[in-house]
Amino acid sequence: MDSETPAPAACAKCGAALRAESRFCARCGTRIPAPEESQVAADPVVPSDGWVAEKAAPTSRGDALRVVAWLYGLLLFTSLVCGIAYSIKPQGDFAFWMTLVDAVVIVCFASYFRNEIGPLLRPSTFDGRARKMLAIAAAIQFVALGAVFYLLERLGLPFERITDEMQRHDYSLWQLIALYSLAPAVFEEIAFRGVMFDRLRLVLGEREGWLVQAAFFSVLHLSPVIFPTHFAMGLIFGWLRIRTGSLLPGMVLHFAWNAVNTLLELYQ
Amino acid sequence: MSTVEWRVDKDTHIVFRKRIFSRRKVELNGQPVEGEWRSKRFAFNLADGRPAEIELTASTLSRDIDLKVDGKLIPDVRYVPKDLRCPACKAEIQLLDEFCAKCGQDLGTPARFIGQRSVQGATSAIRLLAVLFALVGVVMFFIMRAPTDAALRNLAQFDDQEVLEPIDGKTYTAGELRKQIVWERNGVLVVNLLLSVIMLVLAWWSRFKPLPAILIATAIYAVVQVTSAIVDPATITQGIVIKAIVIAILVKGIKGALSLRTDNG
């Protein structure tokens, strides 16, 4: 087509009227041959935040949110059932069963998405850079959040005592550590920073996905008083996940935080 | 009186009016359109011959007034930004465009803006929850003052370090139990005010980023109901219709916000 040939007035495919200087039909999206030979990229557009990923179709965004809703809903449901059972029978060993059921649920979801979660758990991801990020995050968490929790305790806020479980169920120290430090660290990281964050990132983008997974993490602890502090923790663990591309540093920090708090309670 | 306006394109302006005790009226470019309403539907033709239809449909708590042109749902002017631009290349687009004429970006149908209606409903629900949390906190604080004072009077005879009989398997000293009782009264106020502030922040954030804001508000509302159920299982059935309506509005808001998302997030 030479430069003298005018642009068509109607789309060749659907017949819709074309506006002046249109390169695409506004009704069917067909590319309009231009008088000059300039090429227009019709490929997926790079998002303005620079995060290039596969173009998420509307159906897959809805599916991603459904996965998050199911995982969140199931974890909340086990909390509801165990909480009611505990209020009826305070001597029951429901904490153990709740941890077990949550672990099974999370492992099922992680298995379904093993192609995404597996690489996040490889030991090779816990390299020197990851350890450096972990050290920075640990410093922030232990100093800043430690100060906040200390202040809240001084203000008289009652916190659930893990050592009360020791009294009720005659747990040994290692059982306490496994149930209240190790298990939450491993499974909560897989659930929130693994499965949920990957799905939320697909729908919301990285920054908003980071904020929302931290919010879900904080509210699922069921105590509004600690929403702000656990939201901050969720942000720190999420930051580690994003910067290192691994779940391992977050698991280590999460475990360390839980274990230190358990030991402090025991020996105060 | 309800008035709804649609700007289908720069040459087509449709208005629906319904005053109390008077008939429904439809205007096309300022001129009344003659026709009959059948089963809450009004069919007519635009100036260029395109078929159009106005339909009244019931929604969760209100009634929607929808316009379709050529079978496509057209959002009314409340939900369409004044300056319509392609999310990819920022070129000017028109409401009926499904692809950007400059870069070919898939824009979706005009109905994508209808999601804004559900988003506004959800944002209003979040604001209402904020007010309710604050009110409940204040009311419960005053209700609990008398029983708290009575409990503290009963404990006055014990020293702080004195160990009391176990309660629900937990052992307290008198000092710890006093703190617990005072916290239970003050905590109701603190917790509800905190939830109220969080909901207000989420309602403000939903003006810019509706999807994450409504997601978090829904998660918080669900957790509050679960926590109430754990403390008192009888609350599961109390107000269940209201709870279901609130959840339905929030979920609809999530779907509406999802439909407004572009591929660029």
ipTM rounded to 2 decimals: 0.80
Residues of B with Cβ-Cβ distance to A225 under 8 angstroms = 187, 190-191, 194
Q: Residue B94: closest CA among chain A residues belongs to which residue?
A: A26
Band (A50; pLDDT cuts 50, 70, 90): very low
Residues of B with Cβ-Cβ distance to A43 under 8 angstroms = none
Q: Tokens 């496994």, residue?
A: A178
Substitution target in A18, A24, A88, A206 with the highest count of B β-carbons within 10 Å is: A24
Q: Which pLDDT score, from 0 to 100, does residue A161 have?
A: 67
Q: Tokens 């959840």, residue?
A: B247
Report residue A134 as tokens. 């972990």
Say if the Cβ atoms of A208 and B231 lie within 8 Å: no
User: In angstroms, what separates the C-alpha of B22 from chain A's closest C-alpha?
Assistant: 39
Q: What is the mean pLDDT of residues B222-244?
A: 89
Average pLDDT, chain B: 87
Say if the Cβ atoms of B194 and A65 lie within 8 Å: no
Sheet containing B24-28: give its strands across.
Answer: B2-9, B12-18, B24-28, B31-32
Say if the Cβ atoms of A211 and B212 lie within 8 Å: yes
Band (A40; pLDDT cuts 50, 70, 90): very low
Residues comprising chain A, all counted: 268
Q: Residue A163: closest CA among chain B residues belongs to which residue?
A: B170
Band (A47; pLDDT cuts 50, 70, 90): very low
> How is residue B164 annotated by DSSP?
P
CA distance to A23, A33, B84, B85, B107, per residue, from B96 (Å): 17, 22, 11, 12, 10
Of the listed ranges A202-206, A254-258, B176-180, the one predicted with least confidence: B176-180
Radius of gyration of chain A (CA): 26
Q: What is the mean pLDDT of residues B4-20?
A: 90
Residues near A72 by beta carbon (within 8 Å), at least 6 away in sequence: A196, A216, A220, B219
Say if the Cβ atoms of B263 and A55 lie within 8 Å: yes
Q: Residue A25: closest CA among chain B residues belongs to which residue?
A: B101
Q: Which pLDDT score, from 0 to 100, does residue A34 have?
A: 67
Helical ranges in A89-205 per DSSP H: 94-112, 114-120, 128-140, 146-154, 162-169, 173-177, 183-188, 197-204
Distance of alpha carbon B55 from alpha carbon B38, whole angstroms:
9
What pLDDT, in 10s, does the model give residues A213-236?
A: 999 999 999 888 889 999 999 999
Q: Half-sphere exposure (CA, 13 Å, Cβ side) for B41?
A: 8
Domain ranges of chain A: 57-267
Amino acid type, B193: L
Region at A213 (left for phi over 0; alpha for psi -120 to 50; beta for the rest): alpha
Q: Which pLDDT score, from 0 to 100, does residue B60 have?
A: 61
Report residue A237 as tokens. 């663990």
Own/partner contacts of B244-247, CB < 8 Å, gap of 24 or more, are: B245/B60, B245/B61, B246/B125, B246/B129, B246/B221, B247/B218, B247/B221, B247/B222
Distance of alpha carbon B20 from alpha carbon A98, whole angstroms:
57
Q: Which phi and psi angles does B105 have, rounded to 5°?
A: -55, 135
Pairing of strands B41-45, B12-18: unpaired
Q: How many CB pairs under 8 A join A and B?
A: 143
Q: Residue A48: closest CA among chain B residues belongs to which residue?
A: B264
Residues of A with Cβ-Cβ distance to B97 under 8 angstroms = 26-27
Can you give the pTM of this predicted structure?
Answer: 0.79
B74 bridge partner residues: B67
* SS3 category, A9: coil
Distance of alpha carbon A265 from alpha carbon A13, whole angstroms:
73
Q: B106 at the A interface (CB within 8 A)?
A: yes
Q: What is the mean pLDDT of residues B235-264?
A: 84
User: In angstroms, what separates the C-alpha of A266 from chain B's closest C-alpha?
Assistant: 16
> How is residue B49 annotated by DSSP?
S
Q: Which pLDDT score, from 0 to 100, does residue A162 have?
A: 65
Q: Which pLDDT score, from 0 to 100, does residue A249 have?
A: 95
| Of B206 and B10, the one with more pLDDT | B206
Residues near B93 by beta carbon (within 8 Å), at least 6 away in sequence: A26, B84, B85, B86, B100, B101, B107
Pick B180's closest partner by Cβ from A76, A90, A158.
A158
| Of B21 and A203, the one with more pLDDT | A203
